[in-house]
Amino acid sequence: MKIRTAADLEAKKQAGLRKLQPGKPRIAVGLATCGKAVGGAKVYERLHEIIGTESPEIDLSLVGCIGYCCEEPLVNITLPGKPLVILHRVTADDADEIVRAVEEGGVPEGKALCRIPSWDHVTGCTLTYGEGFERIIPAYKDVPFFSHQKKVVLRNAGLINPEDIDEYIAVGGYAAAQKALTGMNPDAIIEEVEMSGLRGRGGAGFPTGLKWRITRDAKTDKKYIICNADEGDPGAYMNRNEMESDPHMLIEGMIIGAYAMGAAEGLIYIRAEYPLAIRRLGIAIGQAREYGLLGEEVFGTGFSFDIGIATGAGAFVCGESTALVASIEGRAGRPHPRPPRLTDIGGGLFGYPTDLNNVETWCNVPVIISNGSDWYARIGAKGNSGTKVFSLVGKVDRVGLVEVPLGTSLNTIVFEIGNGGAGGKKVKAVQTGGPSGGCIPMRLFDTPVDYESLNRVGSIMGSGGLVVMDEDTEMVDIARYFINFATTESCGKCVPCREGLKHTLLLLNKILAKKATKKDLETLADLSETIAATSLCGLGQTAPNPVLTTLAYFREEYDALVGP
């Protein structure tokens, strides 16, 4: 059935709510890539066996990942009138105990991580589950990993079935798109996005509304919008989880953007290394078409729009916009100087003006439209509104995906959310922004995480990877790791990047082999500054950052390795 009116959407919402709160017990297993890799799929299979043969009165479903990855596999239990309870570190052997407990109207308390009496899905929908288990299971808001977070983009992740559009609609999904398409003109939408202060979540922080306006103003008969889901930064997996856990949020953001900019075709450029995300996006696109939310006459309006999937093939440089477009067109991803920009006539995909935004940028759009730009702009810091999702990984105690308001300090993220170094080790630094970013020493951990503050300490926001390093991590080795990465990922087009990085790598190898002199360190610094100043695209311009920041903050580690 196609959704045309508000009543149609409401009917689907009620159908979805009956799945989330079926009036009988529901068990849902967290099945994103991280959950699957540590046995989540086996837990699901075993539960399926037991429930199928013995307890057909229990609903079994799947959800995405709520982000507490080091506690995986996670299992949600919903009993009518009781709080939603999340179990952690569940194995297939626990399945019997879980089903028995649920049959008796309870949960296996020893496995419980937290309880959720009610959940604000932000887009005007709060689901109330119920009361109970107060004395035995901690509340979600009291779990240190969660208590400092603010879920806006990840509002549904780990709580709804990403393969069922009804559950997304149940928690307020597609209401923003309907509001936009049936009640707002394109300029009003762009104005709303501008006033929200939303900036590009791929890392550069360009104002999203402005990019949309430039694309809208391009006078052509055809335009494209693209979602960059290539997520090439090693150590970052925010976008993977956003797509695996809540793919419809991305699609809804793109529908709104397409209508605002006047594009009839959208593309999701996604890395081939993410098979589950590709599969779930495919399912979601199919469901959206079936409901008339993609294709001809979206929501019964005169507007038509559809989304295709284009797979990348492992080239970090394709994060650069002109290289990304070359890749979709079937060429090697080598950047060209801008202008022409993608938004220019002649500069975008197949020559048409093209708007390119990161997954997480698109994911922020529905909530801005549903709750308004004022609401959104109040989150975060001045000039840095909203939240950002980070993958907090490396040598930190609590590993996972965290979402915090922009402007939150590194201290809060690493120590209060992450609980400091793993195994009681002393934290030394955190690396932000992937191969384009820098290593920030612990003494600067009061730095607020926003675009400008991170630049001031020599790093960048990047897409959201936060890799924690401890006292055992050798910073010169880390610099070499990133330069090795950038060297192999350099497209080879411009000399500073191609040759400069190669020689940077040789110098770092020489230093690590203890064969270098103080003069080599000077050469290393000079070379790094030259590469940054003269490279053609962002890859080369930012590639020396790991060297420059480790030289600035951990000079003693270099000095200890070199002779006079």
Asked if residue 311 binds another protein (CB under 8 A), the reply is: yes
Give CA–CA dist 421/88, Å, rounded.
21
State the nearest-atom distance from the C-beta of 431 to another protein, in Å: 7
Residues 6+ apart with CB under 8 A from 415: 427, 445
Output phi, psi for 337, to 5 deg: -65, 145
Give CA–CA dist 523/532, Å, rounded.
14
Give CA–CA dist 464/201, Å, rounded.
8
Q: Which of 237, 376, 451, 554 binds another protein (CB under 8 A)?
A: 237
Give CA–CA dist 253/276, Å, rounded.
20
Asked if residue 92 binds another protein (CB under 8 A), the reply is: no
Asked if residue 506 binds another protein (CB under 8 A), the reply is: no
- At which residue do the structure tokens 């698109």 appear? 362
State the nearest-atom distance from the C-beta of 243 to another protein, in Å: 10
- At which residue do the structure tokens 């690590």 appear? 512
Asked if residue 90 binds another protein (CB under 8 A), the reply is: no
Q: Which of 29, 31, 236, 516 binds another protein (CB under 8 A)?
A: 236
Give whichever of 313 and 495 is closer to another protein, judged by the CB atom: 313
Give CA–CA dist 211/119, Å, rounded.
34
Asked if residue 487 binds another protein (CB under 8 A), the reply is: yes
Give CA–CA dist 324/344, Å, rounded.
16
State the nearest-atom distance from the C-beta of 20 to another protein, in Å: 26
What would the two tokens of residue 377 be? 């702009």
CB atoms within 10 A of CB 377: 16
Give whichever of 317 and 516 is closer to another protein, judged by the CB atom: 317
Q: Minimal CA–CA distance to 372: which of 164, 540, 176, 99?
A: 176
Asked if residue 245 binds another protein (CB under 8 A), the reply is: no
How many CA atoms are closer than 13 Å to the CA of 251, on its beta-carbon side? Answer: 36
Q: How many residues sit in the footprint of another protein (CB under 8 A)? A: 61
Give whichever of 193 and 250 is closer to another protein, judged by the CB atom: 250
Question: What character string, x for contact with another protein (CB under 8 A) and - otherwise, covers 254-273?
Answer: -------------x-x-xxx
Give whichever of 55 and 509 is closer to another protein, judged by the CB atom: 509
Give CA–CA dist 451/329, Å, rounded.
31
**What are the residues facing 59 on neighbouring strands?**
26
What would the two tokens of residue 483 be? 């330069």
Asked if residue 371 binds another protein (CB under 8 A), the reply is: no
Q: Which of 235, 448, 464, 538 binds another protein (CB under 8 A)?
A: 235
Give CA–CA dist 229/276, Å, rounded.
13
Got the DSSP string for 140-166? GGGSHHHHT---STTSSTTTS-TT-HH
Of residues 321-360, those binding another protein (CB under 8 A): 327-333, 349-350
State the nearest-atom distance from the C-beta of 406 to another protein, in Å: 22
Of residues 110-169, those binding another protein (CB under 8 A): none
Q: Which of 172, 312, 319, 540 binds another protein (CB under 8 A)?
A: 312
Asked if residue 315 binds another protein (CB under 8 A), the reply is: yes
Give CA–CA dist 230/439, Å, rounded.
23
Got the DSSP string for 305-326? BEEEEEEE-S-GGGGSHHHHHH
State the nearest-atom distance from the C-beta of 472 to another protein, in Å: 9
- At which residue do the structure tokens 């999701």 appear? 268
Question: What character string, x for contact with another protein (CB under 8 A) and - otherwise, covers 291-310?
Answer: -----------------xxx
Asked if residue 51 binds another protein (CB under 8 A), the reply is: no
Q: Are 396 and 419 within 8 A, CB to CB?
A: yes
Give whichever of 232 and 262 is closer to another protein, judged by the CB atom: 232
Asked if residue 425 binds another protein (CB under 8 A), the reply is: no
Q: Which of 387, 473, 504, 535 binds another protein (CB under 8 A)?
A: 473
Options 31-39, 52-60, 110-118, 195-203: segment touching another protein (CB under 8 A): 31-39
Q: Which of 232, 247, 257, 386 binds another protein (CB under 8 A)?
A: 232
Q: Which of 82, 115, 121, 240 binds another protein (CB under 8 A)?
A: 240
What would the two tokens of residue 110 be? 């020893």
**What are the residues facing 78 on neighbouring strands?**
26
Q: Which residues bind another protein (CB under 8 A)?
A: 33-34, 36-38, 69-70, 72, 231-237, 240, 267, 269, 271-274, 308-316, 327-333, 349-350, 391, 393-395, 399-401, 431, 434, 465, 467, 469, 473, 478, 481-482, 485, 487-489, 491
